[in-house]
Amino acid sequence: MLLRFSKMHGIGNDFVVLDCRHGGFPLDRAQIRALADRHTGVGFDQLLSVEPARDPACAFYYGIWNADGTPSGQCGNGVRCVAAWLHRAGALPLGDNVLIESPSGPVTVRLLGANEVTVDMGEPLFEPARIPFSAGQAADRYRIEVGGDALEIGAVSMGNPHAVVSISDLAIPDLAAAELQRLGPQLSGHKRFPQGANAGFVQWLDRGHLRLRVHERGAGWTQACGTGACAAMAVLHRRGEVDDRVQVALPGGTLRIDWAGPGRPVWMTGPAAFVFEGEWTVPADPDEDSG
């Protein structure tokens, strides 16, 4: 079977996008992993499927799968790519607010240009049970043991769970510190996050500028994480450390995040880029060749 796809990225967070508007999602978990392989497949951080909406209030639905084949509830850079893909397909006009449906629920998108999109990412959820995160009441900071180290983290859901660590609390100078290579995977898989978490390490520059690195559950270290940028801004905003508009610099580029506080949605603005179109020969049983 030949599978047609689009390769896209949002500031380095890369995706394969499948047009499933006229048929079901065609891949199983093993085939997703095979497609994600950067040596023998196409390679991506997440796979995105564009499908008919389940919710009649929405124009389309998009599914999200990590490189290891696990499903995801939300992807900020991915939704911008979905919106740009739909615009190029003639299905989404410039300038209008349009509801599209994510696995976590409806999302409002607006195309500012053919390759620039602003997205209503919803209100951050800090209640531990809704993240989910094992804790009592919601707090600005939690102490957590990670690989024998005691860390202070913020925990929030942006449609998927996030652990946010300020590197000033780690007493390390910058985001290039080797210590993060160990802490990222350990925090992503920590037992207090029953569904895993995206682990974001944030460097505060001033009240309007942050730097961020994210280790994503199911994908590893990424060039960019849109929900991670929203999560970092929301956690620091809740602590009173940033203003209502923040530029978040990630390894792949910069996102603008706006949040006016509780009761309001987070808005994320950034680019979406097309890389190439292609066809991939779907293996019947990709695990047979995994050795």
The catalytic residue positions are 75, 225
CA–CA distances in Å: residue 191 to residues 145, 177, 188, 224, 246 = 10, 24, 9, 25, 31
Q: Tokens 């990590």, residue?
A: 66
Greatest CA separation for the chain? 53
Helix segments in 114-223, DSSP class H = 167-170, 179-188
Contact 226, 14 (CB under 8 A): no
The strand pair at 198-206 and 161-166 is best described as parallel
Encode burial over 159-190: b for 16+ CB neighbours within 10 A, e otherwise: bbbbbbbbbeebebeebeeeebeebbbbbbeb
Give the sign of the dihedral formed by CA 185, CA 220, CA 121, CA 161: negative
- Residue 168's nearest CA partner among 241, 234, 231, 225 is 241
Q: Please, is 77 exposed, middle or buried when counting C-beta atoms within 10 Å of its C-beta (0-12, 13-18, 19+)?
A: buried
Q: Please, is 193 exposed, middle or buried when counting C-beta atoms within 10 Å of its C-beta (0-12, 13-18, 19+)?
A: buried
Q: What angle (nearest 5°) sits at the alpha carbon of residue 66, between those of residues 258 and 246?
A: 15
Strand (E) or helix (H) holding 257:
strand 253-258
